[in-house]
Amino acid sequence: MVFMNILSGFASYDAGITRVLQDWETMGVFAYVLPFILIFAVVYAILDNVSVFKDRKGINLVIALAVGLLSLQFNSVAVFFGEIFPRAGIGLSVVLVSLILAGAFIDWDNPSHKWIFFGIGALAFLFVVANAFSAYSGYTGNWWNDYGSAIIILVIIIGLIVSVTVSKKEGKK
């Protein structure tokens, strides 16, 4: 009899994926749990890889735990993650579709074609980050009017440095 009551409770529960995701959002999984796990894992991996504290993994664990929890102290991380990751999914979709469409026509052995897709990925990254910052509620100011020309000049200088170093390496071969 008790077993039948439990089963009847499951039958009335709307267990669709939408409901599950809404429940998770209500419980704070997306705002707190997932950002904490991501920040904790990245900080721990960096500390473990850099080996600042040698083989003392406990210290790395405590530091990663503290950084992860401190990053959630104010709501800015949750809001920023809520802005950037949906846009990153859109950016990845654009890059994936361009790879699929061009895959039939491009010779992947040609290095210049790889650079073209690197450029598409870099543009997608810039659009994702720019849109995330512009929609971010903690963002204030008009950064493009203030720093846009400096950013363009910096990108051009970096591009020139990369092209000069790549051409010298190819010339020596």
Look up residue 57 and give its two tokens: 């993994």
What confidence tier does 110 reach under pLDDT thresholds 50, 70, 90? confident
Look up residue 136 and give its two tokens: 């971010």
How far, rounded to the nearest angstrom, does the alpha carbon of residue 136 sit from its chain's CA centroid?
15
φ and ψ at residue 103, rounded to 5 degrees = -60, -30
Residues above pLDDT 70, as percent of the chain: 82
> For helices 111-135 and 76-102, what crossing angle results, to 10°?
150
Distance CA 17, CA 78 (A): 22
Q: How many CA atoms lie within 13 A of 156 on its CB side?
A: 6
Q: Quick one: which of 37, 38, 28, 40 has its CA closest to 75?
A: 28
Residues above pLDDT 90, as percent of the chain: 14
Distance CA 60, CA 51 (A): 9
Distance CA 153, CA 48 (A): 36
Distance CA 99, CA 92 (A): 10
For residue 69, the one-letter residue type is L
Tens of pLDDT, residues 59-103: 889 999 999 999 888 888 888 888 888 888 888 888 888 888 877
- Give alpha helix (H) positions in 51-110: 57-71, 76-102
What confidence tier does 8 reach under pLDDT thresholds 50, 70, 90? low
Q: Tell me what pLDDT residue 96 has.
A: 87
Q: Tell me what pLDDT residue 105 has.
A: 77
Tens of pLDDT, residues 25-61: 899 898 899 999 999 999 999 988 887 777 788 888 9
